[in-house]
Amino acid sequence: MTARALDPVRHLQLLDELINRVVREAELVHDYVQLRFHGGLVLTLNNAVELDGHALSNSAAGRTLLASVIGRAVNDVARAADALVLNFRGGSRLTMSLQPQGRHSPEALELHRSTPAELSA
């Protein structure tokens, strides 16, 4: 794994801004997951993702499973071995692989704020 792919994970404290944020929208788009939070934060997970031990695939079942986090707040964010873990209130756990075989993009994840136009959509 290259240093570039690890940079967002190395600076895990930046993801602390997600704690107590409530998921407004959750999407499976091709081979990545995008979570939009109240307050304008957007988290894109580009590697393989599981929710409560179930692999999320771009299918009706995967989209339904991912939709279960809408309305839930992030309880904490942690790095566990070769994974990034978002624990939600209510017990759900979203896990993104940091293994080379789980990588779909040079960047494991992206965190940014929505523009005003995106927020009103």
| Whether pLDDT at 116 is above 80 | no
pLDDT in tens, 1-51: 333 343 444 557 788 999 999 999 999 988 899 999 999 999 999 999 999
Predicted confidence at residue 50, as pLDDT, reads: 95
Gap between the Cα atoms of 67 and 61, Å rounded: 10
| Sign of the four-CA dihedral 9, 45, 72, 59 | negative
Residue 102: pLDDT band with limits 50, 70, 90: low
**Distance between start and end Cα atoms, the chain:** 37
For strands 41-45 and 49-51, give the pairing.
unpaired
The SS3 call for residue 13 is helix
Rounded CA separation 22/114 (Å): 15
